[in-house]
């Protein structure tokens, strides 16, 4: 038996998620595609696939026949839009999976804390940069304490639509908090770069972790294992080169870390790239692909209540 779902947001992310649900899930069933632009490509494609659509936003969703049968609502709008949508849907008991940086619910990154928030009414998928980099911070922090972690996400400007551009501030704040709360770093920082290169480059991410004395081989093994875990549901996720270790001068880090700098000995650098699966978007849009793939993974687990019912 499948769980009926709705996707709010008929832009790039919402449309890619719709195609992933249709093509890849045996657990979820598209029951509604929701937008605010009647001319959007996402609504047009949903209509051609005989999926019920509305261009009246969340109010239109609530008024649709069959709304009561929908169990999960994915929100691929904007941080501000999600807060409004969540408020409108609250009386109806729907499970929300939030692909915006609104951060009104607990952060979930599948290979790190997939099963910890199954009962939450509103699950937040952090950001594309968070989904790509937080697993690496977590892989280091399960080996050794991480006083500081910094991530830099570089994405093609062509894959950054109006919603992404409107959420830049929320992206950096939400990702930094999740680097700490999910990744395990004491302090986190996040930077996003919109790369205007033509032809477009695929998503690339750099993760820096500061640590004390640590077994380098243990860190490499932990990161390699985590990359394999993410690649189970995002096949284009991979290390760009070997994990690098550089000795650091603790005194130079005092302005950044204060007294915590005294114990720092190493900067661990991890370089990643994320190639999209091209379900709807081109392969260079790995930043959007990793968000929709992670949301699908979580949605299947919410629907089934067990990892055995979800695709790897």
Instruction: List the binding residues.
Output: 10-13, 159-167, 287
Q: Which residues are annotated as a binding site for NAD(+)?
A: 10-13, 159-167, 287
209 is catalytic: no
Token pair recorded at residue 149: 């972690």
CA 102, chain centre distance (Å): 12
Torsion of CA 70, 72, 77, 78, to 10 degrees: 140
Rg (CA), the chain: 19
Q: Which of 250, 254, 136 is nearest to 184 (CA)?
A: 136
Token pair recorded at residue 303: 């629907």
Residues 6+ apart with CB under 8 A from 283: 202, 236, 275, 276, 277
Query: Is residue 39 a contact partner of residue 77, using CB atoms and an 8 Å limit?
Result: no
Token pair recorded at residue 240: 């760009």
Phi, psi of 8 (to 5 degrees): -100, 125
Query: Is residue 158 a contact partner of residue 112, using CB atoms and an 8 Å limit?
Result: no
Helix spans in the chain (H): 12-24, 41-48, 57-63, 79-89, 110-113, 128-141, 162-166, 168-181, 216-231, 254-257, 286-304
Catalytic residue among 128, 207, 214, 230, which? 128
Catalytic residues: 128
């Amino acid at each position: 038996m499948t769980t009926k779902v709705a996707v709010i947001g008929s832009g790039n992310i919402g449309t890619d998620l719709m195609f992933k649900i249709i093509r890849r899930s045996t657990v979820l069933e598209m029951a509604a595609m929701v937008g605010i632009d009647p001319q959007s490509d996402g609504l047009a494609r949903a209509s051609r696939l005989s999926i019920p659509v509305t261009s009246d936003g969340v109010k239109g969703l609530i008024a649709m026949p069959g709304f009561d049968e929908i169990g999960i609502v994915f929100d691929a709008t904007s941080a501000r839009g999600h807060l409004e949508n969540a408020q409108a849907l609250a009386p109806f008991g729907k499970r929300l999976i939030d692909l915006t940086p609104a951060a009104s619910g607990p952060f979930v990154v599948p290979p790190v804390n997939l099963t910890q928030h199954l009962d939450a009414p509103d699950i937040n998928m952090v950001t594309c940069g968070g989904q790509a980099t937080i697993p690496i911070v977590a892989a280091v922090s399960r080996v050794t304490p991480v006083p500081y972690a910094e991530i830099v996400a570089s994405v093609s400007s062509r894959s950054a639509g109006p919603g992404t551009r409107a959420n830049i501030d929320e992206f950096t704040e939400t990702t930094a908090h999740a680097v700490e709360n999910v990744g395990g770093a004491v302090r986190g920082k996040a930077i996003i770069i919109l790369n205007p290169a033509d032809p477009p480059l695929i998503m690339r991410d750099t993760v820096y972790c500061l640590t004390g004395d640590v077994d380098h081989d243990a860190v490499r093994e932990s990161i390699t294992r985590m990359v394999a875990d993410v690649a189970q549901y995002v096949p284009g996720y991979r290390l760009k080169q070997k994990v690098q270790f550089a000795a650091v001068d603790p005194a130079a880090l005092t302005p950044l870390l204060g007294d915590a700098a005294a114990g720092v000995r190493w900067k661990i650098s991890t370089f990643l790239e994320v190639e999209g699966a091209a379900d709807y978007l081109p392969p260079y849009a790995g930043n959007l692909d990793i968000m929709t793939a992670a949301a699908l993974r979580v949605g299947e687990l919410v629907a089934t209540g067990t990892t055995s019912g979800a695709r790897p």
